[in-house]
């Protein structure tokens, strides 16, 4: 007699095939991820802006529960499998029971597999790559009956910058965002400006915060944000991590009550130093909303360069000596509901 696990896998395969037939998505056979016993599915999503492939981790034992969903956007040159291995997010999903979606950039859209966060065509709602990722997210929510109130997005580098764009343009979809070595909203509008912003920071964060608020239109809402940045990052300088928090403090200030009145600001209520045993020192800054509840977090990791903090060397751009960004982002996300 087939094992219960085999039955679950077979049921997932049938479900994916049926969904593909009805046009929700196009999917391949499930494979089993090395970091967990759940299914790591591959598929694609299309809309008027284009088509992108994806991988989706479904934890074992899933039987119709309305699970949270975490969308993970990798950095330049990476792949979904590489990012999953490096961040260990699938292992967390298996342990705590949530879905993980890894959109894949098309090399035809960017030769370095970077998300095009720096191009105006990909910085607005219902356009370009943000519309594809948001549409893919909604498709997965519908197909797997995910909890639509507990959907978050996180990214590294170019993926982190696109995560900020998604937080600004789809705050009605994503309950919270995680930004690792990223940049503020619309830090650049072309490749040359992107390189300058990475080295020296983008425009005034208050100005960009107002632009992010405007980008949301009638969907504007306060977006909880957690930032990780290496202090010695020479690819995306640490000033960008500070600017991401300052930008979101301004955006959330406006979204809070429609007024620029410092109901949310970029002055931390707590500065908490820490040390990874045998690894790096870090400082965790916590910023509150107008009620005094934690809303924003910033982790500055001493010594770390352009890496995913606390990741596994099984993937690229990771540094196991830092605090575990995946664990902390999931801790931050699981407390949020849209």
pLDDT of residue 90: 98
What pLDDT digit, counting tens, does each position of 129-160 carry? 999 999 999 999 999 999 999 999 999 999 99
**What is the pTM assigned to this prediction?**
0.90
pLDDT of residue 203: 98
At residue 27 the predicted structure's pLDDT band, cuts being 50, 70 and 90, is very low
pLDDT of residue 330: 98
% of the chain at pLDDT higher than 70: 89
CA distance readout (Å), 87 to 35, 60, 147, 266, 328: 11, 19, 23, 28, 12
pLDDT exceeds 90 at position 7: no
Higher pLDDT pick, 255 / 338: 255
- Residues designated as active site: 157
What pLDDT digit, counting tens, does each position of 41-51 carry? 999 999 999 99
pLDDT exceeds 70 at position 26: no
pLDDT of residue 36: 54
pLDDT of residue 65: 87
What pLDDT digit, counting tens, does each position of 185-243 carry? 999 999 999 999 999 999 999 999 999 999 999 999 999 999 999 999 999 999 999 99
pLDDT of residue 9: 40
Q: Could you tell me if 236 and 289 are in contact, meaning their C-beta atoms sit under 8 angstroms apart?
A: no
Higher pLDDT pick, 22 / 61: 61
CATH topology assigned to domain 4-334: Rossmann fold (3.40.50)
What is the residue-averaged pLDDT of the chain? Answer: 91
Residue ranges of domains in the chain: 4-334
Query: What's the whole-number mean pLDDT along residues 266-278?
Result: 98
pLDDT of residue 35: 55
């Amino acid at each position: 007699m087939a094992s219960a696990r085999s039955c679950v896998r077979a049921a997932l395969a049938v479900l994916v095939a049926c969904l593909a037939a009805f046009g929700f998505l196009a999917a391949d056979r499930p494979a089993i991820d090395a970091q967990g016993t759940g299914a790591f599915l591959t598929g694609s999503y299309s809309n008027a802006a284009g088509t992108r492939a994806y991988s989706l981790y479904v934890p074992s034992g899933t039987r119709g529960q309305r699970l949270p969903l975490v969308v993970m956007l990798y950095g330049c040159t990476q792949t979904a499998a590489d990012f999953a291995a490096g961040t260990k997010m699938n292992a967390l999903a298996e342990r705590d029971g949530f879905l993980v979606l890894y959109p894949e950039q098309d090399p035809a859209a960017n030769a370095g597999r970077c998300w095009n966060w720096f191009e105006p065509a990909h910085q607005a709602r219902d356009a370009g790559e943000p519309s594809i990722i948001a549409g893919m997210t909604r498709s997965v929510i519908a197909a797997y009956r995910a909890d639509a109130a507990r959907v978050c997005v996180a990214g590294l580098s170019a993926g982190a910058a696109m995560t900020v764009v998604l937080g600004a343009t789809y705050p009605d979809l994503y309950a919270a965002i995680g930004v690792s070595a990223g940049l503020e909203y619309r830090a650049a509008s072309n490749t040359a400006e992107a390189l300058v912003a990475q080295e020296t920071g983008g425009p005034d964060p208050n100005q960009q915060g107002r632009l992010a608020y405007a980008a949301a239109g009638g969907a504007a809402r306060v977006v909880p944000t957690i930032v990780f940045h290496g202090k010695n990052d020479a690819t995306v300088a640490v000033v960008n991590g500070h600017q991401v928090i300052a930008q979101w403090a301004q955006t959330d200030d406006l979204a809070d009550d429609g007024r620029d009145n410092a109901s949310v600001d970029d002055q931390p209520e707590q500065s908490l130093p820490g040390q990874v045993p045998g690894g790096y020192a870090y400082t965790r800054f916590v910023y509150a909303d107008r009620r005094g509840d934690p809303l924003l977090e910033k982790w500055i990791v001493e010594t770390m360069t352009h890496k995913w903090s606390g990741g596994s060397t099984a993937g690229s751009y990771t540094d196991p000596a830092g605090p575990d960004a995946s664990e902390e982002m999931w801790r931050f996300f699981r407390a949020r509901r849209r």
